[in-house]
Structure 1
Amino acid sequence: EIYLKDSNWSKAIPVLKTLEAEADYPQNVLYAQSNLMNAYYQTNDYSQAETYAEKVLGNSNLDNKVKSDAKIIIARSAIKTGNEAKAKTAYADVEKIATGSVAAEALFYNGYFKNKEGRYEASNTVIQRLAKDYSSYKYYSAKGLVVMAKNFYALGDAFQATYILESVISNFPDFDDVVQEARIELNKIKAEEAKTNSSIETDDN
């Protein structure tokens, strides 16, 4: 408990592994496995994190909180290791049972994957739900808006896309990664639009 409280993962992991191997009570084994799942995720050992998440899900009588935690570790680990097919399935499972910030995260990825599949209008519908129902979770709201801008641009509405990206840049300065992504998308759109405009002008001359 002390190691976990201090996020001292290197010391916590061996103790948890001993507990997993030697505990008599199933709830102590589950305690060890769920904390190992988290400890390995925190130390960027995503394959071990996934392994322990699967072990946790193998327990019967899991409450939704523990089940949701395990599913989210699988989803996040899959994203980190580039296994988007696995992440998509795991996030869809998470969305059914999660609440709060985890539900917002799952909904964001629902919109993200729909965008990648070229289902832009369906993606926008999901992102609108994220913005409406989970507006207090600003990080995923901001990330969702960037996806929405990509959708609008793909649907041929450069004006709306530009407007959304500029509003993300000005309204969410605390989220560096999101602002950076918004800037990259905005620059792409401006470069594409400049090409289009110059070709129109050339045609007129």
Structure 2
Amino acid sequence: MQKFTSFVMFAAMRTGSNFLEANLNALNGVTCHGEVFNPHFMGKKDQTEMFGIDLAERDANPLAVLARMRAEDGLVGFRLFQDHDSRVIDHVLADPTCAKIILTRNPLDSYVSLKIAQETGQWKLQNAAKLKTARVPFHAAEFETHLAELQAWQIALLHGLQVSGQTGFYIDYDDLNDLDVLNGLAAFLGVESRLTATDPKLKKQNP
């Protein structure tokens, strides 16, 4: 019997959330629907409707989207970033039936990766031969802002878990290729399926 009825992946840009999502979707009975509450799209880039609900309806009543999503078969979830709908963040953070996956990465690495992605316009890579590279300047003040935002996000998540008596599954970017860790996540979620290999499609960018 599953102890969770849904899950959320709390992450930030350039932390490996696409890769973790792909591996979650490789588990039988698990579906991760992407950035359902991204301010500019639903689920994935350029998509403006999910579960029969469009962007305007989602923004007017985000919890209706959650209800439609959770009505699907299996264990369903989505990715949630700090700039997504705060009403959804507050709701799922307080819900003990929603499993919390908290993905982190060294802030300097995520900053550099973000700057390179902004420069090249390449946010996701499936063909290594098409990798775009760039040298980018390091701006100390900009990095300090990036670091402060990530720290505030992590503190808010930790506080939300503490006051509601919950625990999350913390996973770092450097652990995303560790099958034992990924299968530990599957155990945490309460699903029987296990991975025998990591997702081969997505390629590492901006190391």
Structure possessing the higher relative contact order (Cα contacts under 8 Å, 6 or more residues apart): 2
Compute the TM-score of the two structures, normalised by the length of structure 1: 0.25
Say which structure is richer in strand. 2
Compute the TM-score of the two structures, normalised by the length of structure 2: 0.25
The structure whose Rg is larger is 1
